[in-house]
Amino acid sequence: QDVVNKIAAGEIIVAPVHALKELIENGVDAGSTAIEILVKEGGLKLLQITDNGHGINRDDLPILCERFTTSKLKAFEDLSTIGTYGFRGEALASISHIAHLTVTTKPKESSCAWRANYSGGKLVPAKPGQSADPKPTAGRQGTQITVEDLFYNVPARRRAFRSASEEYAKILDMVGRYAVHCHGVAFTCKKHGDTSMGISTPANATIVDRIRQIHGAAVANELIELKNEDDRLGFMAQGWVSNANYHVKRTMLLLFINHRAVESSAIKKAVEQTYSAFLPKGGHPFVYLSLDIDPRRVDVNVHPTKREVNFLNEDEIIEQICDKIRLSLSTVDS
């Protein structure tokens, strides 16, 4: 059973960035306004994420890392929305099977914070001989998740990583995506021991501010806003996309579906196709796109780590978005 869990976990999380993505989403879901991330050795040695959200109740800590433990299935019909997120209540469980996991958390009402250590889905003592029960400790409101020695028990996976800086680059890319999308939340991300921040964004920025902070003024000054609502196809699109004055060597697509960062090769292809009529040969756009689609129509049935999604009426929805982009590109004075 333990081996099965370990294998399952290793399929959901194949790189540090996948664990981090889940932890960022949890922080955002907890209503945080500030999220701080600390990384050692590309996240393989340490991934620590500290938020100021609503915290976790002491009584929920013993089962926190059991599979399918989630506080996010409020109503029965929510079950049909599981597809949106690929999986539910499995992130912390998975991480606990392939890393040393420490959770320190303080809900507002609690007089102290609680610290708990997990391994293999269960509470474990911080040190041999101690009790596994959560321990009271000092702390501010919110939750700190510490993931140490990721893949320590999956040596083959661990050996597959060539460079810590490559993994760190993926982490910065992912934090950057969420920093643009969750523009109200202050994000910081840095390497342990570095004095300078990899990413540091103040709270309450606009999306364009965030794009400027993370991707630079060159693109931020050349953005067009995109808005689309369609009752018939049941989706809403919002975005900021580069105009015909701007182009880069590789398409930058920041895609969110129902507030989760995802990949869609269909959308990417269509967007590139649309822009090709407006950009010089070899030039590619910057596209931030946030779609709200009825979760029952979204399907994450491809490999979970790829976050590649499919959705109902995909072709029509993509066509509508690209029509909007085309229209904006041809009407904006350039």
For Mg ion, the binding residues (CB under 5 A) are 26, 91
Measured CA to CA, the distance from residue 34 to residue 26 in angstroms comes to 12
Name which of Mg ion, ligand ADP, none residue 113 binds, using a CB cut-off of 5 to 8 Å depending on partner kind: none
Should residue 57 be labelled a site residue for ligand ADP when binding is judged by CB under 6 A? Answer: no
Should residue 88 be labelled a site residue for ligand ADP when binding is judged by CB under 6 A? Answer: yes
**Residue 240 main-chain phi, psi, to 5 deg:** -130, 125
Whole-angstrom Cα Rg for the chain? 21
Q: How many residues bind ligand ADP (CB under 6 A)?
A: 21
Query: Quick one: which segment of 36-44, 82-90, 270-278, 312-320 binds ligand ADP (CB under 6 A)?
Result: 82-90
Query: Quick one: which segment of 64-72, 264-272, 279-287, 297-305 binds ligand ADP (CB under 6 A)?
Result: 64-72
Query: Quick one: which segment of 2-10, 89-97, 169-177, 234-242 binds ligand ADP (CB under 6 A)?
Result: 89-97
Q: Which of 8, 63, 66, 69 binds ligand ADP (CB under 6 A)?
A: 69
Are residues 98 and 13 in contact, defined by beta-carbon separation less than 8 angstroms? yes
Should residue 143 be labelled a site residue for ligand ADP when binding is judged by CB under 6 A? Answer: yes
Name which of ligand ADP, Mg ion, none residue 56 binds, using a CB cut-off of 5 to 8 Å depending on partner kind: ligand ADP
- Least distance to ligand ADP, CB of residue 201, Å: 19
Should residue 22 be labelled a site residue for ligand ADP when binding is judged by CB under 6 A? Answer: yes
Cβ neighbors of 330 (< 8 A, separation 6 or more) are 278
Quote the distance between the C-alpha of residue 96 and its chain's center. 18
- Least distance to ligand ADP, CB of residue 92, Å: 4
C-alpha torsion sign, points 315, 317, 319, 322? negative
Should residue 16 be labelled a site residue for ligand ADP when binding is judged by CB under 6 A? Answer: no
Should residue 72 be labelled a site residue for ligand ADP when binding is judged by CB under 6 A? Answer: yes
Name which of ligand ADP, Mg ion, none residue 71 binds, using a CB cut-off of 5 to 8 Å depending on partner kind: ligand ADP
- Least distance to ligand ADP, CB of residue 296, Å: 18
Q: Which of 20, 39, 91, 233 binds ligand ADP (CB under 6 A)?
A: 91
Should residue 56 be labelled a site residue for ligand ADP when binding is judged by CB under 6 A? Answer: yes
- Least distance to Mg ion, CB of residue 87, Å: 9
Nearest partner of 325 among 263, 238, 199, judged by Cα:
238
Of the pair 38, 92, the CB lying nearest ligand ADP is at 92
- Least distance to ligand ADP, CB of residue 127, Å: 24
Measured CA to CA, the distance from residue 232 to residue 179 in angstroms comes to 31
Of the pair 49, 287, the CB lying nearest ligand ADP is at 49
Are residues 151 and 158 in contact, defined by beta-carbon separation less than 8 angstroms? yes
The site for ligand ADP (CB under 6 A) is made up of: 22, 26-27, 30, 51, 53-56, 64, 69-72, 88-93, 143
